[in-house]
Amino acid sequence: MSNEEAKEQNSIPTGKVERSAKFVKTGFKIGGNYIKHYSKKLFNPDLDRSELNEDNATDIYQSLSELKGSALKVAQMLSMDKNLLPQAYVDKFSQSQYNAPPLSGPLIVQTFKKYFGKTPDQIYDKFNIRSTNAASIGQVHQAELDGKKLAVKIQYPGVGDSISSDLKLVKPFAFRMLGMSEKELDVYMKEVEERLLEETDYELEVRRSIEFSIACKILDNVVFPDYYPDLSSKRIITMDWLDGMHLKEFLATNPSQELRNRIGQALWDFYNYQQHELRAVHADPHPGNFMITTDDKLGVIDFGCIKVMPDDFYYPFFSLTSTNLFEDKEETIKAFRKLEMILPNDTPQQIEFYHGMYKQMISLFAKPYITPTFDFSDKTFFDDLFGFGEKVSKMPEFKQARGVKHFIYVNRTNFGLYNILHDLKAFVKTDTYKPHVENGRN
């Protein structure tokens, strides 16, 4: 569905009471779905949860898409992790990457007046009041100025001011859907809150976008728009318009294997250059943030979410993925302790258990890192990876919070990268930008 066809929103609940009421109403709907499910189950004991999941996913997504902001962003993040949620949620929540209901024209004009004291037509030579793309935090409009085609990203009203309260409201839903422990969920939500506060600060995003696009200009087949600080504000960003297709559209054209590999290589280099040379990474690898340009390059159009990797995380983590550290059990356990995967009060039996499980998990995850090339079309690799993740998610030993907070976005980044490369069925050289670790002893 295009945004022309999507139903426009004329208002967004911005106050705590309004937004809270929306969540309460959704909670009642979900309660009704459970009653309906268990009533049907009385007459059909073999009934599975697929209809219940579908109903709940629809009601939650509808509510979040009207509220926009951090709650919808969490849904988007969860949709990228195939292990966390039933398929109905993944399918529904992934719509937030492209197709949240757009804001109406008057709300757009109101936002411009608030931050520039002018309407869009007074700033640009041309401005399309209909958005081309509406996602969780903002929507994009096409504009023109001095003969240049521009993309103007406008943040939804109230999004930046409601992050903390929204996350408190979304917590019970997340608790139920994810099955995490209270402590683990608190760590998760705190890290998400920190990143979202950064992501809704568009002045910070413009600075970072300029900084990262300059740093990454050395990469082959990766392109970035120019950004215009004078035409940007805390809630509005103006950048060059990149012509091209999103991944889904690109794949629908049945591109050649050579082109898939080229785009995949550009993506691999883009992420690993940042991780290992900049120690900070674009941590929002959903397909909506990339374009395949008309000259067959990877266009990166969003630097809102950046995760900085401190040394006390970077060295032990990448020593585990990229060296022979696993050959030394004592050093491996030391690295696991630094990363809080093994905790101070663990018994010898627990240490043995977690050492074995994490070694197996990381060895599986690190397969692309330990060979000079990797075929991401390999279905067996992904079946093993997600199968192991599903097994672990059901084990009581993993209900307790484990791992430092940096894992949340670093894992999300790398699994998101793997998923896009799998969709591309790309064959890439994986030895282009290697971790800076020596024998895992840093």
Position 132 in a domain: no
Q: Do 364 and 295 have their domain in common?
A: yes
How far apart, in whole angstroms, are the C-alpha atoms of residue 169 and residue 174?
A: 9
Position 112 in a domain: no
Position 372 in a domain: yes
Full residue range of the structural domain in which residue 34 is found? 16-102+159-197
% pLDDT > 90, the chain:
43
Handedness of CA 113, 119, 122, 128 (dihedral sign): positive
In the block, residue with structure tokens 């889904």: 248
pLDDT for the residue 59: 61
Main-chain dihedrals φ then ψ at residue 110, nearest 5 degrees: -60, -40
Residues 94, 98, 100: CA angle, nearest 5 degrees: 85
User: Three-state SS string across 19-74, please?
Assistant: HHHHHHHHHHHHHHHHHHHHHHHHHCCCCCCHHHHHHHHHHHHHHHHHHCHHHHHH
pLDDT for the residue 97: 45
pLDDT for the residue 193: 80
Q: Which of the residue ranges 20-29, 246-255, 316-325 would you say has the lowest mean pLDDT?
A: 20-29
End-to-end CA distance of the chain: 51
User: What pLDDT digit, counting tens, does each position of 122-171 carry?
Assistant: 999 999 998 887 766 788 999 999 999 999 999 877 777 777 776 776 66
In the predicted model, is pLDDT for residue 52 greater than 90? Answer: no
For 274-283, what is the mean pLDDT?
A: 92
Q: Do 185 and 319 have their domain in common?
A: no
Residue 345 half-sphere exposure, CB side, CA atoms within 13 Å?
A: 2
Torsion angle of C-alpha atoms 361, 364, 366, 372, degrees rounded to 10: 170
Strand 133-134 relative to strand 148-155: parallel, antiparallel, unpaired? unpaired
- Strand partners for 298: 222, 292
pLDDT for the residue 253: 95
* Mean pLDDT value across the chain: 80
Q: Do 95 and 42 have their domain in common?
A: yes
**pLDDT category of residue 289 using cuts at 50, 70 and 90:** confident
For 355-369, what is the mean pLDDT?
A: 91
Position 5 in a domain: no
Of 49, 432, 43, the C-alpha closest to 222 is 432
Q: Do 193 and 246 have their domain in common?
A: no
Q: Do 302 and 168 have their domain in common?
A: no
User: What pLDDT digit, counting tens, does each position of 194-232 carry?
Assistant: 888 888 899 999 999 999 999 999 999 999 999 999 999
Position 111 in a domain: no
pLDDT for the residue 37: 44
Element (H, E) at 154: strand 148-155
Position 152 in a domain: no
DSSP letter, residue 96: G
In the predicted model, is pLDDT for residue 300 greater than 80? Answer: yes
In the predicted model, is pLDDT for residue 259 greater than 90? Answer: yes
pTM: 0.76
- Domain stop point among 197, 225, 260: 197
Q: Do 191 and 332 have their domain in common?
A: no
Handedness of CA 259, 262, 265, 271 (dihedral sign): negative
Position 1 in a domain: no
